[in-house]
Structure 1
Amino acid sequence: MAPFANLALLRTGMACLALLLGGAGALAFDLQGHRGARGLAPENTLPAFEKALRIGVTTLELDVGMTRDGVIVVAHDPRLNPDITRSPDGAFLTGPGKALTEMTLEELRGYDVGRARPGSRTARAFPDQTPADGARIPTLEEVFALAERLGARDVRFNIETKSSPLPDAATPEPRAFAAALAKAIDKAGLRERATIQSFDWRTLMALREIAPDIPRVCLTSEGSFDTLQRGKEEGSPWLGGLDVDDFESVPALVAEAGCTTWSPNFRNLTEALVDDAQDMELSVVPWTVNETEDMARLIDWGVDGLITDFPDKARTVMATKGLPLPAPVAP
């Protein structure tokens, strides 16, 4: 990348050229709607995914867990979250609910996740969310079916395994989780449109063996939530047996893990790290970028995509940068 004085300008120009030639293909900027479009609709619900598709995204980003009866369901938290969950009697939970792994799909269906609890952190963070009373935690199969029903046959799915190596995490066993997820993707015939991401690289290592042709995305975070844990003698439990201190850079660590994409917390990213990762043929798609100033800066650095709660804002920034926009699904 050194021969180019302005990598961001070059990449923007190449993307625009690809669009003019009839398809951006691999050069397309990857706009990912985080948990659907969490800033605008209740997270990880069918209304949120439909909202993202109507706005126009390249990829639906979503989280998955697994029920006691082995069904892959779309939810961020390993336990029912009282900020967004109402019990069958219509009242918000008063504390963390049961773990998904302790519940059957039929039991889970009794809970409403279509609105944030008034005054909760979620409600304060996303005041423009349109409630969708009656929304249930969907299965992954239902999300796939929604995209098919709406005619979104090019949209991709970036699926995060909500797994944790920490004690009492109440998340599925990594290999069984990975196998069930690969089976669900295969059942839908979507291997060519799916990526699997995780902070818990144990699931990614398992998928490397179970379904090596499904691209994997290494999520990382440094700060109050730290998955790298530099300088820790026994290494980080999040990295699937690897140790960040054994590598010259985080991109080198990610490449060794066998991921094709690195998704860091955008606050941990620098332009030099973007260049370093792309020199290793890694795509760089930071999370979760919600302010237009941050979006513009990262695009100028040449990132390959963004994960955002506000795909509508991101489209506006992309347009000002001359990037091709993914087509919205027609009403």
Structure 2
Amino acid sequence: MSEEIVIPSPADFHVHVRQGKMCELVTPQVAKGGVRTAYVMPNLVPPLTSTDAVLSYKAELERIDPSVQWLMTLYLHTDVTPDVVRKAADAGIYGIKVYPQGLTTNSDSGVKDYEAYYPVFQAMEENNMVLNLHGEVSSDAEKNISVLNAEVHFLSHLKKIATDFPKLRIVLEHATTAAAIEAVSSLPANVACTITAHHLYLTIDDVPSQPHHFCKPVAKEPKDRKALQDAIKSGNPKFFLGSDSAPHPLSSKIPNLTDDGSVSACAAGVYTSPILIPLVATLLESFGALDKLAGFVSENGRKFYGVPAGENQELKLKRTGNGKEDGLVKGTFKGEGVEVLPFWTGKKLGWEIVN
């Protein structure tokens, strides 16, 4: 077995770094987790619906950590018109993220009707921008739709958009089901898919007892997890890393009594940035796909997005030692008035970054 691995410039094609004090805390952790290029989500408050807002946010991230290549996105909204698309493309913004209304963090301004945005999708196709889809629909008791099958019910929307816009690059974000893997595999090469680290490990059984495992979309059945793992083992270039690393204050992940006596909701999100590439290496090795690591965390996504690796951006990993503390993920990260807990806390990683 190899004791060291060299990866050509890892990239995370779906990451949240928030704003304000949380942004100051978590932004440097992206590079510390081994990532050289990060594709940033736009669901801030207010959402990033203009080129100027996106560029201002990018400048803030570059101020905090200029070592990372920050790739930026717009938030699909009624303010985003074909003219806005053209301006964004000219400014080097890579994609537009679609959030179904009300389904996840800061998605209240999201989309209800996809066809209403067809002029925007056409402008994106013409300007070579990427459409990033949060692939769920709203729960509906009468139709028996819940968080467990919301992704499966979304796939008809994915297929229709892909059919109607055959030259539009589309990414189904953070797939969690065997059905999603099958759908993406069956569609043309302009449709790809991100897979998170945590969905390669969790199943639905891990979620009810642990609020830090709750995310949207939720982890599914063992057969679905295996489909995600098999997609990576296959080496299919349609599948690549998008961590959906989503930090929340510790107090937001643990339900608490509010001032009015009600119980607060648990925020949706799993935070993996500080340990991301060693975690992915550990997980891929666990299901026999370590030889696909470079493709999954760098080559496949970079090829789809057209973002080449920079010079001298390789990342070297080595196996962790056998000591009690070697590879152990420890506790929370704290900043000014902010505290977050990373995924895998209390567990050991099999790989670590060589400084």
TM-score between the two structures when normalised by the length of structure 1? 0.44
